[in-house]
Amino acid sequence: MYIILRIFFVKNFYDIYYRIFMISKITNELLDSLIIECKKEKNIDKLKINILNPIIYYIFWKIYPFFIILFIILLVILIIIIIMLVLLIK
Protein backbone atom coordinates (compact mmCIF):
# COMPACT_ATOMS: atom_id res chain seq x y z
CA MET A 1 0.00 0.00 0.00
CA TYR A 2 2.79 2.38 0.90
CA ILE A 3 4.46 1.83 -2.48
CA ILE A 4 1.22 2.59 -4.33
CA LEU A 5 0.80 5.78 -2.33
CA ARG A 6 4.39 6.78 -3.03
CA ILE A 7 3.85 6.34 -6.76
CA PHE A 8 1.19 9.01 -6.74
CA PHE A 9 3.18 11.23 -4.36
CA VAL A 10 0.49 11.15 -1.75
CA LYS A 11 1.37 12.62 1.61
CA ASN A 12 -1.65 11.32 3.49
CA PHE A 13 -5.10 9.89 3.04
CA TYR A 14 -6.70 13.32 2.99
CA ASP A 15 -4.70 14.01 -0.14
CA ILE A 16 -6.15 10.86 -1.73
CA TYR A 17 -9.65 11.93 -0.78
CA TYR A 18 -9.04 15.41 -2.18
CA ARG A 19 -7.75 14.00 -5.50
CA ILE A 20 -10.70 11.64 -5.83
CA PHE A 21 -13.07 14.49 -5.00
CA MET A 22 -11.43 16.73 -7.60
CA ILE A 23 -11.61 14.03 -10.28
CA SER A 24 -15.25 13.44 -9.41
CA LYS A 25 -15.97 17.16 -9.56
CA ILE A 26 -14.22 17.57 -12.91
CA THR A 27 -16.03 14.61 -14.49
CA ASN A 28 -19.33 15.83 -13.12
CA GLU A 29 -18.81 19.30 -14.61
CA LEU A 30 -17.69 17.78 -17.89
CA LEU A 31 -20.79 15.60 -18.10
CA ASP A 32 -23.05 18.51 -17.22
CA SER A 33 -21.55 20.67 -19.95
CA LEU A 34 -21.80 17.78 -22.41
CA ILE A 35 -25.49 17.32 -21.60
CA ILE A 36 -26.15 21.03 -21.99
CA GLU A 37 -24.41 21.05 -25.38
CA CYS A 38 -26.25 17.94 -26.54
CA LYS A 39 -29.62 19.50 -25.75
CA LYS A 40 -29.07 22.39 -28.16
CA GLU A 41 -31.16 22.07 -31.30
CA LYS A 42 -28.19 22.51 -33.62
CA ASN A 43 -26.29 19.71 -31.93
CA ILE A 44 -29.33 17.43 -31.84
CA ASP A 45 -29.60 17.79 -35.60
CA LYS A 46 -25.91 16.97 -36.01
CA LEU A 47 -26.31 13.90 -33.84
CA LYS A 48 -29.32 12.74 -35.82
CA ILE A 49 -27.72 13.30 -39.20
CA ASN A 50 -24.20 12.07 -38.43
CA ILE A 51 -24.78 9.31 -35.90
CA LEU A 52 -28.34 8.06 -35.60
CA ASN A 53 -29.36 8.02 -39.25
CA PRO A 54 -26.29 6.08 -40.43
CA ILE A 55 -26.73 3.54 -37.62
CA ILE A 56 -30.41 3.04 -38.44
CA TYR A 57 -29.64 2.83 -42.15
CA TYR A 58 -26.90 0.24 -41.56
CA ILE A 59 -29.06 -1.90 -39.28
CA PHE A 60 -31.98 -1.75 -41.70
CA TRP A 61 -29.88 -2.93 -44.62
CA LYS A 62 -28.40 -5.74 -42.54
CA ILE A 63 -31.84 -6.96 -41.37
CA TYR A 64 -33.70 -6.33 -44.63
CA PRO A 65 -32.94 -9.73 -46.27
CA PHE A 66 -34.18 -11.58 -43.21
CA PHE A 67 -37.52 -9.80 -43.34
CA ILE A 68 -37.93 -10.71 -46.99
CA ILE A 69 -37.11 -14.35 -46.28
CA LEU A 70 -39.54 -14.36 -43.36
CA PHE A 71 -42.29 -12.86 -45.51
CA ILE A 72 -41.70 -15.45 -48.26
CA ILE A 73 -41.76 -18.31 -45.76
CA LEU A 74 -44.99 -17.06 -44.21
CA LEU A 75 -46.55 -16.64 -47.65
CA VAL A 76 -45.60 -20.19 -48.63
CA ILE A 77 -47.05 -21.52 -45.37
CA LEU A 78 -50.29 -19.63 -46.00
CA ILE A 79 -50.53 -21.01 -49.53
CA ILE A 80 -49.91 -24.55 -48.27
CA ILE A 81 -52.59 -24.15 -45.60
CA ILE A 82 -55.08 -22.87 -48.16
CA ILE A 83 -54.30 -25.78 -50.51
CA MET A 84 -54.70 -28.27 -47.66
CA LEU A 85 -58.06 -26.78 -46.68
CA VAL A 86 -59.30 -26.91 -50.26
CA LEU A 87 -58.23 -30.54 -50.58
CA LEU A 88 -59.86 -31.46 -47.30
CA ILE A 89 -63.16 -29.80 -48.22
CA LYS A 90 -63.37 -31.70 -51.51
Model pTM? 0.52
Q: How far apart are CA 48 and CA 62, in angstroms?
A: 20
Asked if 5 contacts 16 with a C-beta cutoff of 8 angstroms, the reply is yes
Determine the structural domain holding residue 59 and report its residue range. Answer: 12-89
In SS3 terms, the chain reads as: CHHHHHHCCCCCHHHHHHHHHHHHHHHHHHHHHHHHHHCCHHHHHHHHHHHHHHHHHHHHHHHHHHHHHHHHHHHHHHHHHHHHHHHHHC
- The domain total for the chain is 1
Give domain status of residue 6, yes or no.
no
Q: Is 50 exceeded by the pLDDT of residue 1?
A: no
Give domain status of residue 1, yes or no.
no
**Mean per-residue pLDDT over the chain, rounded:** 85
Q: Is 90 exceeded by the pLDDT of residue 38?
A: no
Give domain status of residue 69, yes or no.
yes
